[in-house]
Amino acid sequence: MKFFVDTANIDEISELSEMGIVDGVTTNPSLIYKSGRDFKEVIKEIARIVSGPISAEVTSLDKNEMIDQGLELSKIANNIVIKVPLTEHGLIACKNLSKKSIKVNVTLCFSSSQALIASKMGATYISPFIGRLDDISNEGLNLIEEIITIYSNYPDRLSTEVLVASIRSPLQVAQVAQMGADVATIPPKIIKQMIKHPLTDIGLNSFMEDWKKTGQTF
Ligand code: G3P
């Protein structure tokens, strides 16, 4: 499973990228707002750091404006993926941009029927938001299972990758990997949490203490 990092914070992207763990980046208007930076400048800067897919989201609700914005954003670098919302206009923009060989990430997906139609409209990625479903007491993981089943029923016709978004815990990352999701977009804090385990720390402390007791140096 590919790891995308879900942030527009350059420091976080640089640090994780240096670790070698970043396969791509996803941003959205809320993450741009949080960064406090100019949208296109941030996308340009991310593209200088990361060679994998970078999702940049359109900011209009109108199909023609979405297409124009998508065309403009796609000129920033050859690894820009245009993120459009899962609306009628968003899907028309998706179809149009994908016909021009521009990769599209269809975002704000909350049902398997939405995921099916996005795939038929040429989405490169579908972004189901599992955390936000959990927030309203719907099992987000069930949606991932349903979408993977649907897409795998038609491997020759539906080539959209399942990009799990709105991830809130390390456990969810492992669960969607078990299901065979193609990509998880993960907040930096959760990537760091995935590394940690109290038994690793306890075990390492005791190895270090015993090593000292041997009186040896390396
Ligand atoms: O990239 C969009 C998605 O990951 C948002 O997550 O935590 O705002 O629901 P969240």
Ligand 1 pocket mutation pick from 130, 166, 191 by most atoms within 8 angstroms of CB: 166
What is residue 52's predicted lDDT score, i.e. its pLDDT?
Answer: 98
Nearest CA to ligand 1 atom 7: 166
* Nearest protein Cα to ligand 1, atom 3: 166
Question: Which pLDDT tens digit goes with each residue over 165-213?
Answer: 999 999 999 999 999 999 999 999 999 999 999 999 999 999 999 999 9
Minimum-distance ligand 1 atom for the alpha carbon of 27 = 1
Tell whether domain 2-193 is in CATH 3.40.190.290.
no
| Average pLDDT value over all residues in the chain | 98
Average pLDDT over residues 92-104: 98
What is the pLDDT averaged over residues 22-43?
98
Q: 6: Cβ below 6 Å to ligand 1? A: yes
Average pLDDT over residues 10-37: 98
pLDDT of residue 131: 98
Instruction: Report pTM.
Output: 0.96
Nearest CA to ligand 1 atom 9: 166
145-167 per-position pLDDT tens digit? 999 999 999 999 999 999 999 99
Residue 207 has a pLDDT of: 98
Q: Is the CB of 26 under 6 A from ligand 1?
A: yes
Q: Is 7 in the pocket of ligand 1 (CB under 6 A)?
A: no
pLDDT, position 167: 98
The pLDDT score that the predictor gives to residue 24 is: 98
Q: How confident is the model at residue 95 (pLDDT cuts 50, 70, 90)?
A: very high
Q: How far apart are CA 55 and CA 84, in angstroms?
A: 10
What pLDDT band is residue 63 in, cutting at 50, 70 and 90?
very high
- The residue whose CA has the least distance to atom 5 of ligand 1 is 166
| Interval 109-148: pLDDT, tens | 999 999 999 999 999 999 999 999 999 999 999 999 999 9
Domain ranges of the chain: 2-193
